[in-house]
Structure 1
Amino acid sequence: MLTLARSLWRLPAPPDARPATRWDHAFVALLAVLGVAEALLRTDMDGRWLSLATFLVWLPTVLVRRTRPLRMSAVFAAVTVPLMILAWTSGDREPDDLNTAVVGLLIPFSLTRWARGRDAAVGLGLFLLVAGTSLATQPLAAGDRIGGAAVVVAAAAVGAALRSRSMLRTRQLDVVRQQERERLARDLHDTVAHHLTAIAISAQAGLAVADAKPEAARDALRRIDEEATRTLAETRKVVRMLRTDDDVADRPLNDLAGIATPGGAGPRVEVHVADGLDDLSPTVAAAVQRIAQEAVANARRHAEGATTVSVHVDRQHDDVRLVVSDDGRALTRSGQGFGIVGMTERATLLGGTLVAGPAPGGWCVTATLPAEERR
């Protein structure tokens, strides 16, 4: 219980509180007019002008009910308590309340809806002190007292309920944003990082043979130009996907052929795609392509002495199986990369599995994905 009280006390103000608008000013002006009209028409009302003056003093605080709800409660108590003390000391009745003053129920509502924890506790304490004392001292029937207390509690409960709903929506939006950031990070890592790796390897190879074999250096520059063009195209695809709200870009499985390289700088990449995979869903086909790209990029970066990287895609019953293997010696990983993490996330999100680790003669990445998305 003490932990709950502390958490409520430290509760921050919700971020959706906005300043008063012109509609708020019009609302307050309308209430002021109604209050004056009521005081003029209710000639049988005790202390009507004093009640009207009190009402008009705290009414403008309605404009800050979202941004400064505690101030609303403090001003209400500051102008109401002296009247109650004056009535007790003089033995007279308290001035009757204006019906328009029912807008005072915005005070407990605003405190539970927009105030931070400590302000809500202090403000509710002030308001309940005034309202409770008024209900207890006025000549009212027991049913009226219970009804008045219930209305105050209901106003506070509605504010708390709306606040909880707003907080839940904010959490849901945060989760969606985090998922979108992770998806964007995977796409950028799997595309740009793959091509940049190829560019770096080609540049290193070109520098190594620039003096002895100028033609080989020109070939390396040609490969760098091709990889840079692919990088730009992939980046544009990611940006287009973000702008158009498409979940999956147009990435047919046949694009895997673009990963193959006959030789040159780095190991040779061979791609074998079995027949009968044309019915894969676009999401699964995109995942297969991305995982294959990342696995090949990892092999080119980390497989020391590798000469060949093999990519095999085939169908096994209701699943599609991707195997990327190389014949190099896998260097010790620093643990700071995101390649295997991203590949595993892609497979898991589709209801599949991914295993990466040493294999006889090198390193192997095996991904098993459902041929159709699992909802």
Structure 2
Amino acid sequence: MSLTTIEESADRALRSIQSLLSLMRVSDADAPFPDEDRYDENLASTATSLGTLLDDAGIPTQVKAPEHSLQIPTEVERDLVAVAIETVTNIIKHAPHSQAAVISVFRDESHVGLIVENVVSRTPRALGTDRGGRGLRRASQRLGQHGGQLKSGPTPHGWEVRAVLPFTLHQDITEASAQESHKR
């Protein structure tokens, strides 16, 4: 590995950590997540980018996401991107020595979801159930406003966050038509 490669990786990791730190400072439930545009509101590519971030942080990460567009409403995708960012922030903040992580994106005909799991060396009982942070609570509120739900908690091997949102394929068409009418 060359010095240039190490330097570039360190620079990317530093920028990512700075981005995550700015996310941790946001406390308003309706406030936009800082640096969301960095992840272009595409859930599958965001999952891949966040997997790379965790890999760079020393946590081997597997990403299971479709290679094609999810074809879901922009607002739904944006909310799940925010959950993905918040969850990876929590892994880095609360479980930086995780043994592994898995980020999964799934979609059926009426729901889209995200599951983020991290494997830790301590037992879930040792992890505790501290719910002192605001990030996942805020994310849960955002999903609830759109009929979705977020569940998080210990698993036999670590911690899991599961977010699911309903959608209908005509939502984007309706939103696009309304925006076009507004421009006229």
- Shorter-chain TM-score tier: 0.5 to 0.7
Q: Which runs of 5+ in 2 are unaligned?
A: 24-30, 172-184
Q: Label 1:276 to 1:369 Cα distance change in 2 as closer, same or farther (>3 A).
A: farther
Residue type of the partner of 1:287?
D
After superposition, the CA RMSD in angstroms is 3.6
Equivalent positions of 1:318-329 (< 5 A) are: 318-328=110-120, 329=122
- Moved beyond 6 Å, runs of 4+: 214-217
Q: Label 1:219 to 1:265 Cα distance change in 2 as closer, same or farther (>3 A).
A: farther
Residue type of the partner of 1:344?
S
Matches of 1:371 and 1:263, distance apart in 2: 31
- Alignment length (residue pairs): 148
Q: TM-score, normalised by structure 1?
A: 0.34
Q: Label 1:277 to 1:265 Cα distance change in 2 as closer, same or farther (>3 A).
A: closer
Structure with greater proportional strand content? 2
1:251 maps to 2:47 = no
Matches of 2:146 and 2:59, distance apart in 1: 30
Matches of 2:94 and 2:81, distance apart in 1: 20
Q: Label 1:335 to 1:358 Cα distance change in 2 as closer, same or farther (>3 A).
A: closer
Residue type of the partner of 1:369?
L
Alignment partner for residue 16 of structure 2, among 227, 233, 238? 227
For CA contacts below 8 A with separation 6 or more, give which structure has more relative contact order: 2
Q: Which runs of 5+ in 1 are unaligned?
A: 1-213, 235-241, 243-247
1:307 maps to 2:103 = no
Matches of 1:304 and 1:255, distance apart in 2: 20
Return the index of the structure with the highest Cα Rg.
1
Q: Label 1:319 to 1:276 Cα distance change in 2 as closer, same or farther (>3 A).
A: farther
1:367 maps to 2:163 = yes
Alignment partner for residue 273 of structure 1, among 48, 58, 65? 65
Indicate if the aligned counterparts of 1:347 and 1:354 stay in contact, CA closer than 8 A.
yes
Q: Label 1:313 to 1:360 Cα distance change in 2 as closer, same or farther (>3 A).
A: same
Indicate if the aligned counterparts of 1:318 and 1:370 stay in contact, CA closer than 8 A.
yes
Structure with greater proportional helix content? 1
Q: Label 1:217 to 1:229 Cα distance change in 2 as closer, same or farther (>3 A).
A: same
Matches of 1:299 and 1:229, distance apart in 2: 15
Q: Label 1:216 to 1:252 Cα distance change in 2 as closer, same or farther (>3 A).
A: closer
Residue type of the partner of 1:280?
I
Residue type of the partner of 1:361?
H
SS at match of 2:72: coil
| Amino-acid identity (%) | 25
Indicate if the aligned counterparts of 2:129 and 2:153 stay in contact, CA closer than 8 A.
no
Q: Label 1:272 to 1:313 Cα distance change in 2 as closer, same or farther (>3 A).
A: same
SS at match of 1:317: coil
1:291 CA displacement: 0.6
